[in-house]
Chain A
Amino acid sequence: MNTVKKIVAVAGAAAMLASVAACGSGSDTAGGDTKEISFQTWNLKNEKYTPYFEGLIKEYEKDHPDVKIKWMDQPSDGYEDKLSTQAASGELPDIVDGGASILYSLAKAGALLNLSKEVPDAEGDYYEGAWGGATMTGNGIEEGAYGFPWYVNDGPTYWNKSLMQQCGLDPNHVPTTWDEWFAAGKTITQNCDGIYLGTTMGYNAEDLVTAGATFMNKDHSKYTFNDEAGVEQLEKFVESYKEGAIPPEALDASWSQAGDLFQRGNLVAMAGSAYSAAGFKQNAPELYKNLTVGPRITNDGRSASVSYELLGISSQSKHPDEAIDFARFVTNAKNQVEFAKQASVFPSAKGGLEDAYYQDIDDSTLEGQALKITLEQVKTGYSSRPAEFTDANGYKYFQQQIALAMQGKQTAKEALDKTVQFANERLSK
């Protein structure tokens, strides 16, 4: 027994030794009279955007000498895990950057301020659609906006002109409605082998909503995308898959290589972002020369794929007024336009889209054309994916159900009914 004790003692000593060997740094020092606001962005600290944020912070601190902004930036992967740990341990930064569904989980846990209540006058500073995109309601959430709208993202459909020609489509008339889209799929499968139309297959909210389905009821208590229009649209996707217009790899929910397939020249069309054009130029220069852009496919001419990045304010913030003030500063029209120009995204603050930059876009390049089309979409479009339809609470499940429908293991209606039921159950939790 004595020897066992010895071993334990030695083990303990070794552990202590190891801890002494570590040179951990001290915790952050608290400032005296200055109020420190932590501002957390998501993967924006790099050679391209760092100067912008540093300039922004400098300018703000100059006008507010009593406030110090601590800019933190999280790497690309694992952001939601990081946020949930931060929130659970009371270390959520004063201002956090995230999309609607990321902020929804935080808001539901009570970690974010209801900005409609805190600053009722802020609503007027942003476009209606953007404020709507930040507004959450239902299922235990007090109705209101839980983030200041920041940059807006959407994009055109990119088309590979040489594949269109090769497979019997007219590159000067790209499909814009769903009927044209499915007809194009048919033409491609009749004329070409190993070439697919695209990977769109119905699990993104906009794929159903732009064909007339309603995704959710008004008070966000129930999903409704298994309505007639939704079922009909999904049936068309299933048929398109059976014809061979959708690559089988795309059925795998974890598969994210649509971009690779498009850049390799296996897909005729891909829904991208405005900034994707620059990516194509960089990574697939030969393809880039063969591309043209068209609007996102819709039946009513309005894009439903607009997504809003938001800045949420922590409900545990020690200086909520200063945090709100800085977040409004970051999201004001002038600062948003400057950021949007650099990143090929769009501003959500009122007046931003009227900036001279957007009035006179040079559309001689693919980038310019993509920007121009997206600009029109952002003006009239909206976000169709509700914040509560997160990966875990519906989206992933939806992908799996659709894959089963595609393989003929269930009908389109069954896939939608099951997903609606699954997601409804999670709403009430």
Chain B
Amino acid sequence: MAALHRKRITVGKVLQYLVLLLVFLLLVGPFVWEISLSLKGSGDNVYAVPPYLVPKTPTLDNYKRVFDQVPVFHYMLNSLIVACISIVGNIALSTMAGYALGRLKWRGRGFVFALFMGTMVIPLEGVMISQFLIIKGMGLQNTLLACALPGLVGAINILLMTNAFKSIPMELEEAAMVDGANLWQRFWRICVPQVKGTMTVVGIFAFVGAWNDFLWPLIAISDEKNYTLTLGMNRLKGMFIQDPRLIAAGALVSLIPIIIFFCCFQRYFFRGLEQGGLKG
């Protein structure tokens, strides 16, 4: 019995679990705190020392106020439309760009790749005004399309797809070539099925990025009926007095679709990570 025990529990295992527990607390702690905060009523001291998790005057009133003040479903639909455009755009465009950059040989490839990567270091604040002027020139200001357009394809996604395509063995395509497949067939029938996981990751990144974006939608949209959820939820911050409970409730409401989305695609997500990272 004792021998069995010693065999199972080693110092390394204990440490491993301690670290896991710590990371778990670090990641989940703030989330649990938000939930607790959002359920606290007006009788609760938000700044109590020591802090407590179980509300003394539990209430759903904060959630009710969120739905009263913000047309949540309308804005959620707007956010969803923007996110969908972004997902489709990012998956389609970065897959094609990734194939061209990762597998095809053409002049200027290195330059184009560097150019794409270069866009990653430019902050939005620097190009915001010129970007808006372009959108305005296209007559798109105040539309949801304007929200989605600048994020239609992200450099980081192109990088992910390029690496994913690079990791496919050359022999696979060569075999197809021997069988007489043209480039388009090789792309679509041979290579794309190999990188589906990474495409899902790109889709998830695009979704989360579009969903959480604040500054650009703020600039692009002036009309409230086209607000995305992040813009609408920002309203919950009072000009004079802030209610942390209300803000917490709003944050959780806007998190729900992300959680649902992640749960649905979770297995692809991890498969995709392996594909993009380990094999390359």
Contact = CB atoms under 8 A, between A and B. Distances in A.
Interface string B100-128: 10001010000000000000000001001
Contact of B241 (A23, A42, A279): A279
A23 B42 contact: no
Contacts of A46: 69, 235-236, 238
A3 B242 CA distance: 58
B237 A11 contact: no
Interface stretch (B141-149, B159-167, B267-275): B141-149
Main secondary structure of the interface of B (DSSP, over half): helix
B263 interface: no
Interface string B32-59: 0000000000110111110000000000
A25 B106 contact: no
A42 B239 contact: yes
Nearest to A309: B239
A27 B139 contact: yes
Contacts of B182: 3
Nearest to B140: A24
Contact of A77 (B65, B141, B234): B234
Contacts of B136: 89, 91
Nearest to B87: A18
Contacts of A48: 238
Interface residues of A, number: 59
A173 interface: no
Given A279-B241, A284-B47, A287-B47, A7 B69 contact: no
Contact of A260 (B43, B47, B68, B219): B47
B175 interface: no
B80 to A, nearest CB: 12
B235 A11 contact: no
A42 B140 CA distance: 24
B145 A22 contact: yes
Interface in A23-39: 23-25, 27-28
B73 interface: no
A338 to B, nearest CB: 15
Interface stretch (B6-14, B18-26, B222-230, B253-261): B222-230
A287 B106 CA distance: 70
Contacts of B262: none
A14 B49 contact: no
B254 to A, nearest CB: 14
A344 B49 CA distance: 29
B65, B144, B152, B222 pick with most chain A CB within 10 angstroms: B222
A18, A81, A273, A279 pick with most chain B CB within 10 angstroms: A18
Given A22-B148, A25-B225, A260-B47, A283 B219 contact: no
B128 to A, nearest CB: 6
Interface in B173-223: 182-184, 187, 214-215, 218-219, 222-223
A385 B75 CA distance: 39
A6 interface: yes
Interface string A32-56: 0000000000111111110000000
B234 A75 contact: yes
Contacts of A72: 222, 224
A166 to B, nearest CB: 14
Nearest to A273: B240
Contacts of B68: 47
Contacts of B106: 4
Nearest to B46: A283
B129 A285 contact: no
Contacts of A273: 240
Contacts of A86: 222
Given A14-B92, A46-B238, A82 B85 contact: no
Contact of B45 (A17, A23, A260, A285): A285
Given A18-B88, A264-B47, A285-B45, A76 B129 contact: no
Contact of B184 (A3, A11, A14, A28): A3
B96 interface: yes
Contacts of A345: 240
Contacts of A75: 218, 231, 234-235, 237
B237 to A, nearest CB: 4
Nearest to A14: B92
Nearest to A72: B222
Contact of A24 (B43, B104, B146, B222): B146
A77 B106 CA distance: 45
A15 B125 contact: no
A7 B92 CA distance: 11
B100 A279 contact: no
B235 A286 contact: no
B234 A3 contact: no
B142 A283 contact: no
A88 B134 CA distance: 12
9 contacts: A7-B96, A22-B144, A43-B238, A46-B235, A46-B236, A75-B218, A82-B219, A89-B133, A287-B47
Interface of B: 42-43, 45-49, 65, 68-69, 81, 84-85, 88-89, 92-93, 96-97, 99-100, 104, 106, 125, 128-129, 132-133, 136, 139-146, 148-149, 152, 182-184, 187, 214-215, 218-219, 222-226, 231, 234-244
8 smallest A-B Cβ distances: which pairs?
A24-B143, A75-B234, A263-B47, A22-B145, A3-B183, A76-B237, A279-B241, A14-B92
